[in-house]
């Protein structure tokens, strides 16, 4: 497959080559098999039980007391870390994959000290082969200059240079796999020889020929030790010499409760303009390598809840979600049809609509509905997506 004059950032968007993540610590706290799990609201537990079926151990850590929790669990492709509230609304969630090899403290401290309103968004070990480390690359997300790559020596762990992320002109692209590489037309022979000597079982490949003659190879494979998906990038000369091998290191993520006075002014200004009066329900921050990366806050404004999220490097770009109670008469017909067909004799108890607000603040897209209905002495909670399509249900305790 040939594509002329593409740019490298476009390949990144297609391939999804990002730093893989892992959890900063092993959170302790109640899980679904722990007697203390009764302290966690049922809606909070069911938001994960119903979606991640088969998971036996959800580990919750309290953030805002009785309001929000961090939840860490292992799923099919690795670890997941998330923040969830008492209504069962998932505030934030990330799939955490990658090698469990920490970025050295000296590198973290040097990168984190380069200005305010920035954080480490990814880290990589640089090498000529998996066994020969040559240093580290840190992707620093910044508010003023965009993303910047910082490079550190292996021996001293000291900073040696930085480069902004830039576009490289591409000559051709080939998608293949380790099993099909010898049958994919156009792939350079030096790449075929490389994978004959280096075994990556069932790895997906994206081979890119650059205008300067070099070749990049994105290798997407499952790492054996922690059974997670890894995306490595190899830079090779046209003669087959490995110039650089990038392997993502663990990204340290966690959440912390936030004081109201810590909220950025952009959030408080939005609330002042769009809510006549409000009370803060909870506030928290997602941290990357112990630095605040994203802020979240939910407030009550009469019968409506407003949740706002904002990245510290782009504080003028707010993500806003509204939640409000709705009457039965406002439910889509396909929801009512589902209830009639599957819960005979039901009666309405309550319903909540969650919608994402557009950037201009007018209207938005409905994200989902949560509904409670009664039948005899039982109560059932159901969730439907924004189109009114059934997602899951459970019996309310």
pLDDT at 338 over 80: yes
pLDDT at 316 over 80: yes
Average pLDDT, the chain: 84
Which pLDDT band holds residue 12 (cuts at 50, 70, 90)?
very low
Hey, what are 260's tokens?
């109201």
What number is the average pLDDT over the span 129-140?
Answer: 80
Q: Which residue has the tokens 């969830």?
A: 84
pLDDT on residue 66: 94
The CA distances from residue 174 to 7, 183, 204, 206, in Å, are 15, 12, 11, 6
Q: How far apart are CA 67 and CA 268, in angstroms?
A: 20
pLDDT on residue 61: 96
pLDDT on residue 35: 43
The CA distances from residue 85 to 40, 98, 269, 390, in Å, are 10, 27, 24, 22
The CA distances from residue 155 to 106, 243, 247, in Å, are 11, 19, 18
pLDDT at 31 over 80: no
Q: Which contacts of 378-385 are long-range, i.e. CB under 8 A and separated by 24 or more positions?
A: 379/349, 380/343, 380/346, 381/43, 381/46, 382/339, 383/50, 384/332, 384/335, 384/338
**Domain chopping of the chain, boundaries:** 1-12+99-250, 22-96+252-322, 326-395
The CA distances from residue 275 to 90, 165, 194, 302, 309, in Å, are 23, 39, 60, 9, 16
pLDDT on residue 358: 66
Most confident listed range (50-59, 84-93, 270-279): 84-93
pLDDT at 302 over 90: no
pLDDT at 219 over 70: yes
In the chain, % of residues over pLDDT 90: 57
Q: What is the pTM of this model?
A: 0.82
Q: How far apart are CA 204 and CA 29, in angstroms?
A: 38
CATH number at 326-395: 3.10.450.360
Q: How far apart are CA 147 and CA 111, in angstroms?
A: 13
pLDDT tens for each residue of 74-103: 887 778 999 999 999 999 999 877 777 888
pLDDT on residue 340: 97
The CA distances from residue 114 to 7, 163, 288, in Å, are 28, 14, 15
Residues whose CB falls within 8 Å of the CB of residue 191, separated by 6 or more in sequence, listed in order? 181, 207, 215, 217, 236, 240
Cβ contact 111:131 at 8 Å: no
């Amino acid at each position: 497959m040939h594509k002329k004059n593409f740019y490298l950032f476009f390949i990144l968007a297609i391939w999804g080559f990002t730093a893989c993540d892992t959890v900063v610590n092993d959170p302790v706290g109640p899980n679904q098999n722990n007697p203390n799990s009764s302290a966690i609201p049922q809606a909070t537990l069911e938001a994960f039980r119903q979606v991640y079926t088969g998971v036996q151990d959800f580990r919750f850590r309290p953030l805002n007391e009785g309001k929000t929790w961090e939840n860490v669990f292992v799923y099919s492709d690795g670890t997941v870390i998330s923040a969830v509230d008492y209504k069962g609304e998932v505030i934030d969630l990330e799939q955490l994959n990658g090698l469990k090899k920490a970025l050295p403290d000296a590198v973290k401290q040097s990168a984190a000290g380069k200005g305010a309103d920035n954080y480490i968004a990814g880290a990589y070990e640089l090498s000529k082969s998996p066994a020969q480390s040559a240093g580290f690359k840190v992707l620093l997300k910044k508010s003023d200059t965009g993303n910047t790559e910082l490079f550190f020596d292996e021996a001293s762990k000291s900073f040696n240079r930085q480069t902004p992320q830039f576009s490289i002109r591409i000559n051709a692209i080939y998608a293949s796999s380790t099993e099909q590489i010898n049958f994919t037309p156009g792939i350079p022979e030096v790449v075929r020889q490389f994978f004959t000597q280096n075994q990556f079982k069932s790895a997906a490949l994206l081979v890119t020929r650059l205008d300067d003659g070099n070749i990049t190879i994105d290798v997407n494979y499952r790492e054996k030790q922690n059974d997670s998906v890894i995306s490595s990038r190899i830079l090779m000369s046209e003669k087959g010499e490995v110039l650089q091998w990038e392997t993502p290191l663990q990204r340290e993520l966690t959440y912390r409760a936030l004081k109201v006075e810590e909220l950025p002014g952009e959030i408080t200004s939005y609330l002042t303009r769009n809510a006549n009066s409000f009370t803060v329900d909870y506030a928290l921050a997602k941290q990357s390598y112990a630095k605040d990366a994203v802020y979240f806050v939910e407030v009550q404004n009469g019968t409506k809840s407003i949740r706002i999220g904002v990245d510290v490097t782009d504080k003028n770009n707010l993500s806003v979600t509204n939640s409000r109670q709705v009457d039965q008469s406002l439910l889509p017909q396909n929801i009512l049809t589902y209830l009639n067909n599957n819960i005979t004799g039901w009666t309405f108890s309550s319903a909540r609509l969650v919608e994402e607000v557009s950037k201009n603040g007018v209207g938005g897209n409905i994200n989902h509905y949560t509904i409670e209905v009664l039948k005899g002495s039982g109560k059932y909670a159901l969730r439907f997506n924004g189109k009114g399509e059934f997602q899951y249900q459970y019996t309310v305790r």
